Amino acid sequence: MSVVEWLVISVALLLFLPGTEAALLDEGIKKPLVLAFYYNWFDENTWTPEKVSDFPVTPYNSRDRETVVRHIAQAQEAGVDAFVVAWYGPQVEGNQTETNLALTLEVANGTDFRVSVEFGPDSPFIHSQQDVVDALRHVLQVHAGHPSFLRVEGRPVIFFWRLDDIPLDPGQTPLEAWQAVRDQVDPDRESIWIAEGVEVAYQQVFDGHHLYSIAWAEDVHATLSDWGYRIRRYNAQHGTDKLWVATVMPGYDDLKTGRANAFVREREGGQFYRDTWQAAMDSGADWVVITSWNEWVEGSQIEPGVSYGNLYLDLTKELAAQFRAQVGALALVTPTLTPPPTPTMAVTITQVASLSYTPTATLTPTWTATPTPTRTPPPTATATKTPTPTATATLTPTPTATASPTATPTATPTPTPTATPTPDPLVTPLRVAAHISRGLSLVFLGGATVVVALLLRDWQRPKAD
């Protein structure tokens, strides 16, 4: 083999060698998903005017199988891929989130619908860092093995919130504590952990980021665009592929909780929901998460309600399809460095057929006898996290609780939406930078190869003469 032939083969191997795009985004992991936060601790005592500002079309008990069957069918029809179920830990006694999670996984079995968990260290059953380790091991060793558990590229997905509340060892920071937990629970990084909050530094340990609530944001478009830039900037600076999971919401109303800092974000007949979806799409979201499917106590639910019927399921179906189409279209074109559109853009919604589900309940439902649960929730209520409508402070709200059928209420957790700092635009997304860098490198190598080949040809020709 001549020197020229060897050089040509070497360049060909360089061009097509596996792993040359290691710095680019993983398209398998970045497959667009639409998720929804799901709460499974409601019962007949929940549906009173003193506790909620609206009522589900069909009032229910979260432990009833028919309730879960209906919710999954409605979510699938609306284009939702998975529920992210609030989960307190593996304890069974007094903890309906564990038994109801198992029920949800069972009901989803045999369908395309998937189930994940949302876990926070402020659970009433978490008292030490070891409790956190044990709880997460339970998720990965027990629930993640179920066929219905959400996996992406074979990796189970877990959402987290209130990261700063993790119990600390002496001298530890929360970031160091989470590093220690993950090193014990998932040392080979075989699962996907999505953080929540306003501290990007947690991405040293986690695999993506989301904001539980954006109801407090004065400009949701600017807020979500800013956070999309923050995650892409982190990826560009660290050579990582962290996920940006954008939050969409129909509105918010926690006045019934009696909190001193309670507030309302008006739904505007569905316009706020449209605006948050447009903002999420403009922010370059990898996934979208809906807050929420059924957080009725805080008025962020999209499941069918007495006051709005199927409106938000219809909008979800339309907007989820638009999100997936947009991501698919962007994958076929070369990205540009143009910043996202201004916050004045709005989504035009085309009316779609309503679901076959027909509202039957009234504001004052008549209840039939329901079985007494075998386990009752603990009497200790956990502080509920409330978003602040301004962008300047993190509030610690007064605890509230949701009543159980036979005992003291079980707390309703809601992640704390904290103020988003001033936007810091990033104009060099990782994908563009990686493509440009790789393209320039290949052009340089190709040109160098041609020059070397010509020099070798001219050098060999005199020898032949």
Q: What is the DSSP code string of 210-275?
A: E-S--TT-S-HHHHHHHHHHHHHHHHHHHT---EEEEEE-S-EE-GGGT-TT--EE--GGGHHHHH
* pLDDT 10s digits, 112-134: 999 999 999 999 999 999 999 99
Specify the DSSP class assigned to residue 149. Answer: B
Angstrom distance (rounded) from CA 447 to CA 244: 38
**pLDDT of 343 over the 80 cut:** no
* pLDDT 10s digits, 345-382: 333 333 333 333 333 333 333 343 333 333 333 333 33
The vertex-291 CA angle with 285 and 292, nearest 5°, equals 135
Angstrom distance (rounded) from CA 282 to CA 345: 9
* pLDDT 10s digits, 133-172: 999 999 999 999 999 999 999 999 999 999 999 999 999 9
Encoded amino acid at 336, one letter: T
Query: What are the CA-CA distances from residue 320 to residues 78, 229, 384 (Å)?
Result: 8, 22, 29
**pLDDT of 241 over the 90 cut:** yes
pTM: predicted TM-score of the whole model, two decimal places: 0.70
* pLDDT 10s digits, 281-315: 999 999 999 999 999 999 999 999 999 999 999 99
| Structure confidence at residue 327 (pLDDT) | 86
| Structure confidence at residue 185 (pLDDT) | 98
Q: Compute how many other C-beta atoms are within 10 angstroms of the C-beta atom of residue 126.
A: 22
Residue 319, burial from CB neighbour count under 10 angstroms (0-12, 13-18, 19+): buried
| Structure confidence at residue 107 (pLDDT) | 98
* pLDDT 10s digits, 31-73: 899 999 999 999 999 999 999 999 999 999 999 999 999 999 9
| Structure confidence at residue 165 (pLDDT) | 98
Q: Compute how many other C-beta atoms are within 10 angstroms of the C-beta atom of residue 9.
A: 11
* pLDDT 10s digits, 421-460: 444 444 334 444 444 555 555 555 566 665 556 666 665 5
Nearest to 113 by CA among 143, 71, 168: 71
Q: 106 Cβ partners below 8 Å, 6+ apart?
A: 148
Cis, peptide link before residue 292, omega less than 30° from 0: yes
Handedness of CA 182, 188, 193, 197 (dihedral sign): positive
Q: 420 Cβ partners below 8 Å, 6+ apart?
A: 198, 211, 217, 223, 226, 227, 391
CATH fit for domain 31-428, picks 3.40.50.720, 3.40.50.2300, 3.20.20.80, 3.50.50.60: 3.20.20.80
The percent of residues above 70 in pLDDT, for the chain, comes to 65
| Structure confidence at residue 380 (pLDDT) | 37
Task: Tell me the β-bridge partners of 288.
Answer: 34, 246
Q: 444 Cβ partners below 8 Å, 6+ apart?
A: none
460: phi then psi, degrees, rounded to nearest 5: -80, -25
408 close to 378: Cβ distance less than 8 angstroms:
yes
In b/e form, how buried is each residue of 169-199, taking b as 16+ CB within 10 angstroms?
Answer: eeeeebbebbebbbeebbeeeebbbbbbbbe
The vertex-162 CA angle with 53 and 284, nearest 5°, equals 85
